[in-house]
Amino acid sequence: MDNDCMKKRFLHLTNITDIEQTLSDNRLCMFFIKAHDCGVCNVMLERVGELAEKSPSLCSFYTDIREEPMIAGRFLVYSGPTVLLLMDGKEVYRGSQFINMEELERKINQYQNEVMDMDLSTPSDSRLVSRFAIHSFEELNTFELYEILKVRAAVFVVEQACAYQDLDDIDFQSTHVTLRRDNDIVAYARVFKDEAGLWHIGRVLSTERNKRFGMEVMKEAIKVAKAQGAGCIEIEAQCYALGFYEKFGFKVSSSEFMLDGILHRRMRLKL
């Protein structure tokens, strides 16, 4: 990713697997497709990036159509510049060649407001979801601890194809927040205070996409931290998920850095 695009929080995705995963993980996405050695494309990428900066619920990424031939068939795009807005993985807007920036901004605002309204509402199948379970490490029984570690490995190690040390001893000092549907964990987060006295929320996950379970567990984790005396919360957010955390008021507080092979940024929320 070039420096200008990094500043504009554009992910540079180069294969169809990463593109599909990003669409699955985010309610609202803007996908910019450029042609190789296209001066107009580069200018439009800069202008579209300015819109992305103003849109906290929007995950923005781009690719060069030559980098991934499967894009043409998957999205029916054969030249650039083309910009797509996708909501829950479905195309809701397309602009090609001479992109109308005012119309694109109106569409972004329209769908961003729809996503915010839906995400902050009650989960669609809340009748199937039990109450939150909130435990210190000592309060977890063997089965509960096993279930938490199992779902964390499924999401952060297997699904994200990232070999890293999940068991880091922070669990001992954490408050563990789980949300279950029937007997299965559908969302999880842990809350802890570091040695310097700064509060953190980490290992945030949802096992099912587009069900708003992640929103619910994050809201609960913030409540837990606040109840325990937190005045400020810091997180280490994967770059593609910045928009998700901005919905809660988190603001970027660092430049991009690599953690376990994945680009992250620190974010902070003042309570």
Band of residue 129 on the pLDDT scale cut at 50, 70, 90: low
pLDDT tens-digit map of 23-45: 887 888 999 998 888 888 888 88
Band of residue 204 on the pLDDT scale cut at 50, 70, 90: very high
Q: Cα dihedral sign for 11, 17, 22, 27?
A: positive
Q: What is the mean pLDDT of residues 98-117?
A: 81
Residue 227 pLDDT > 80: yes
Rounded CA-CA distance 242/13 in Å is 16
- Report field, pTM of the whole predicted structure over 0.75: no
Band of residue 91 on the pLDDT scale cut at 50, 70, 90: confident
Point out which residues pair with 238 in neighbouring strands.
264
High-pLDDT (> 90) share of the chain, % = 38
Number of CB atoms found within 10 A of residue 254's CB = 13
